[in-house]
Amino acid sequence: MKVNELKHAGLKKWVEDNVALMTPDSVEICDGSKGEYDRMLKILVSAGLATPLKKRPNSYLFRSDPSDVARAESRTFISSKNKDDAGPTNNWRDPVELKQTMSGLYKGCMKGRTMYVIPFSMGPVGSDIAKIGVEITDSPYVVINMHIMTRVGKKVLDVLGKDGFFVPCLHSIAKPLNPGESDNGKWPCEPDVEKKYISHFPDTYEIWSYGSGYGGNALLGKKCLALRIASALARDEGWLAEHMLILKITNPKKEVKYLAGALPSACGKTNLAMLVPTLKGWKVETIGDDIAWMKFGKDGRLYAINPEAGFFGVAPGTSEQSNYNAMQSIKKNSIFTNCGLTEDGDIWWEQIGYGAPGKTIIDWKGNEKPAPKTDKAVKGEEIAHANARFTAPANQCPVIAKEWQDPKGVPISAFLFGGRRATTIPLVNQSKSWVHGVFMGSITGSEITAAALDLKEGSVRRDPFAMLPFCGYHMGDYFNHWLKLGKKAEDEGKGDKLPKIFFVNWFRKDKDGHFMWPGYGENSRVLAWMFDRCDNKDNFVETAIGKLPKTGAIEAPPGVSAEIMSELCSVDTEGWKNEISDVRDKHYAKFGDRLPKVLYDELDAIEKRLNS
């Protein structure tokens, strides 16, 4: 298809304007076909950027530039007209100035390259909850990743019609080529981090990205569209765009419920989405591992779709033990970025579950090193980058639920929030009400190590709703949006249809620093308790902080004593008093008068109950 054959006048003009600005050598409208995918890989292999993997059919390894290995949060901008609308947790730039700067950078940026125009659907094509985006990019690596992560092609243009709504997503790796020049094995990008831009214009629902070819900076359907821009759309249109997994859980009586869960990075969200239950007779299946879009149905229930079509997962730490189903999902047709390359032509990473075969291995920077005999991570000597990734089609997951592509979505019975907390926060806690649940989401936090961020070891980084880097507007307004949706449902007499809200913590430690809860498949015991709570089973005690499991309501996993279970499921009054003052003084205070008053009321009410 040629640009002048595009039926949508707005799309055609947008593409033509950008062709004039970016001056690519040629333009291709992507059709999402296997032929197109294979052609992109030929280009990438001959440019020395992709290595075919002997051990995995139709799978390839890429090594990015060391400047281009993760989301560039400091270069991610929320460019709303009013600075106040971006809020204290986002980087703001004036949209007129930012567009001027970036238009200057985009000028001639695709010289010597092909411009690819990727029409994609986030969510099953044509679903009422789905949205269409079109990404302009000069990166064939982006094209193949978008093929896996979204639904690409002509069917999307058909749904878009002549005047449908789409989110324009501009992307360039910022590396024009001179005549005769080739990438020659060097990952093309702007190596100066300060010159990378990942910009969002929430008032006009646009994305402009420049200088990075990696992950969330470049695959614009994911964090940029499906979270930052979608959160603004959801605010304006009355729905929810959340950083949540979606799972299906079936009990031994074959009853089914769906649950959506938000956990900050490094808390095992993908593992939870693909969990293998240890609890007999229970089954967990996956709908999505990262993002949920949810709209109320006429029946008052909240229906969720996974807007994505693949997994873009962190590789290190993924093993048959930590995530059996992820390991099965990446056996073929997968893309690996910044992993190690073994002598026998396979990928390898730290904590993959086995040492590397052979004598030598190529690390993520392309250097040959002795093959590690164990899979332990050695600081500063990593074979795979800590944020090395796999991209795999969701339908390769052995436990993908049959309804994962249902255009009407699945009805959500429960929300789960959680974080990595060594103390205070119990194993599981159900909110007393919707408002209390929003309060729980708003104080979500996770402990970090000093090495990871410039913060005191063990201190809590608050990551409300796990949306801190992903909310496209002021987080105080975002909390209010959640409150408003709950109030509307209650005012309409549909409050009982709202999902129940829970807070979990798999990461409590004892005085010696050992984890008290085994996690992984044993988390099914907690999911089962939540399942029964959704059916109003009498398995809880009412406490100052919420509804906690009754003694014996969660059967202890092997090796966990009754005393430990009771500690995991009780109120740490002193710890909670500290938590409350930390939230009031260091967290809520940041949001000024946009922090909804009812959340302060909730804080006061918990404090009062703790003191009584």
**Which range binds Mn ion by CB under 5 A, 140-148, 279-287, 289-297, 560-568?**
289-297
From the candidates 30, 224, 267, 339, which is the catalytic residue? 267
| Structural contact between residues 517 and 422, judged by C-beta atoms closer than 8 angstroms | no
242 is a site residue for ligand OXD (CB under 6 A): no
| Structural contact between residues 337 and 343, judged by C-beta atoms closer than 8 angstroms | no
Q: What is the CA radius of gyration of the chain?
A: 24
Q: Give me the least distance between CB of 112 and ligand OXD, in Å please.
A: 31
525: which 2 tokens? 């015991």
Q: How far apart are CA 355 and CA 367, in angstroms?
A: 18
Q: Give me the least distance between CB of 157 and Mn ion, in Å please.
A: 28
290 is a site residue for Mn ion (CB under 5 A): yes
Q: How far is CA 64 from the centre of its chain?
A: 21
213 is a site residue for ligand OXD (CB under 6 A): no
DSSP structural state of residue 512: T
DSSP-based three-state secondary structure for 321? coil
Residue nearest to Mn ion (CB): 290
403: which 2 tokens? 């309804």
Q: Give me the least distance between CB of 290 and Mn ion, in Å please.
A: 4
Q: Which does 216 bind (CB under 5 to 8 A by kind): ligand OXD, Mn ion, none?
A: ligand OXD
Instruction: Tell me whether residue 266 or residue 598 sits nearer to ligand OXD (CB atom).
Output: 266
Q: How far apart are CA 107 and CA 119, in angstroms?
A: 23
Instruction: Tell me whether residue 36 or residue 290 sits nearer to ligand OXD (CB atom).
Output: 290
Q: E strands within 182-297?
A: 197-201, 206-210, 240-242, 245-250, 256-262, 283-288, 292-296
What interhelical angle do 573-582 and 597-611 show, nearest 10? Answer: 150
148: which 2 tokens? 């896996």
Q: How far apart are CA 502 and CA 416, in angstroms?
A: 5
Instruction: Tell me whether residue 140 or residue 216 sits nearer to ligand OXD (CB atom).
Output: 216
Q: Give me the least distance between CB of 566 and Mn ion, in Å please.
A: 34
**Three-class DSSP labels, 559-577:** CCCHHHHHHHCCCCHHHHH
Q: Which does 93 bind (CB under 5 to 8 A by kind): ligand OXD, Mn ion, none?
A: none
Instruction: Tell me whether residue 394 or residue 545 sits nearer to ligand OXD (CB atom).
Output: 394
Q: Give me the least distance between CB of 384 and ligand OXD, in Å please.
A: 15
> What order do you get walking across the sheet with 389-393 strand by strand?
50-52, 60-62, 335-337, 389-393, 310-314
Q: Give me the least distance between CB of 461 and ligand OXD, in Å please.
A: 14
Q: How far apart are CA 317 and CA 306, in angstroms?
A: 24
Q: How far is CA 447 from the centre of its chain?
A: 19
Q: How far apart are CA 217 and CA 389, in angstroms?
A: 14
Q: Give me the least distance between CB of 93 and Mn ion, in Å please.
A: 24
289 is a site residue for Mn ion (CB under 5 A): no
- Count the residues of the shown chain that bind Mn ion, applying the rule CB under 5 A: 1
Helix ranges (H only) for 122-246 are 140-149, 154-160, 215-218, 230-237
First vs last Cα of the chain: how many Å apart?
71
Q: Give me the least distance between CB of 98 and ligand OXD, in Å please.
A: 23
Instruction: Tell me whether residue 65 or residue 290 sits nearer to ligand OXD (CB atom).
Output: 290
| 159 phi, psi to nearest 5 deg | -65, -35
Residues in the chain: 612
Q: Which does 557 bind (CB under 5 to 8 A by kind): ligand OXD, Mn ion, none?
A: none
Instruction: Tell me whether residue 189 or residue 388 sits nearer to ligand OXD (CB atom).
Output: 388
Q: How far apart are CA 87 and CA 591, in angstroms?
A: 7
User: Could you give the string, one character per residue 184-223, with x where binding to Mn ion holds by CB under 5 A and - elsewhere?
Assistant: ----------------------------------------
User: Could you give the string, one character per residue 236-275, with x where binding to Mn ion holds by CB under 5 A and - elsewhere?
Assistant: ----------------------------------------
Q: How far apart are CA 46 and CA 306, in angstroms?
A: 35
What interhelical angle do 475-491 and 597-611 show, nearest 10? Answer: 80
Instruction: Tell me whether residue 157 or residue 246 sits nearer to ligand OXD (CB atom).
Output: 246
DSSP-based three-state secondary structure for 195? helix
216 is a site residue for ligand OXD (CB under 6 A): yes
Instruction: Tell me whether residue 312 or residue 503 sits nearer to ligand OXD (CB atom).
Output: 312
Instruction: Tell me whether residue 285 or residue 290 sits nearer to Mn ion (CB atom).
Output: 290
User: Could you give the string, one character per residue 50-89, with x where binding to ligand OXD holds by CB under 6 A and - elsewhere?
Assistant: ---------------------x------------------
Task: Pick the closest to residue 335 from 394, 390, 393, 395 (CA basis).
Answer: 390
Q: How far is CA 340 from the centre of its chain?
A: 24
Instruction: Tell me whether residue 264 or residue 411 sits nearer to Mn ion (CB atom).
Output: 264
Please return the burial class of 301, using the count of CB atoms within 10 Å of its CB with bins 0-12, 13-18 and 19+. Answer: buried
| Structural contact between residues 556 and 562, judged by C-beta atoms closer than 8 angstroms | yes
Instruction: Let me know if 30 is a catalytic residue.
Output: no
DSSP structural state of residue 151: E
Q: Give me the least distance between CB of 202 and Mn ion, in Å please.
A: 19
**Which range binds Mn ion by CB under 5 A, 282-290, 360-368, 398-406, 527-535?**
282-290
Q: Give me the least distance between CB of 213 and ligand OXD, in Å please.
A: 15
245-304 residues near ligand OXD, rule: CB under 6 A? 265, 290
Residues that bind ligand OXD (CB under 6 A): 71, 216, 265, 290
Q: Hey, which residues are catalytic here?
A: 267
Residues that bind Mn ion (CB under 5 A): 290
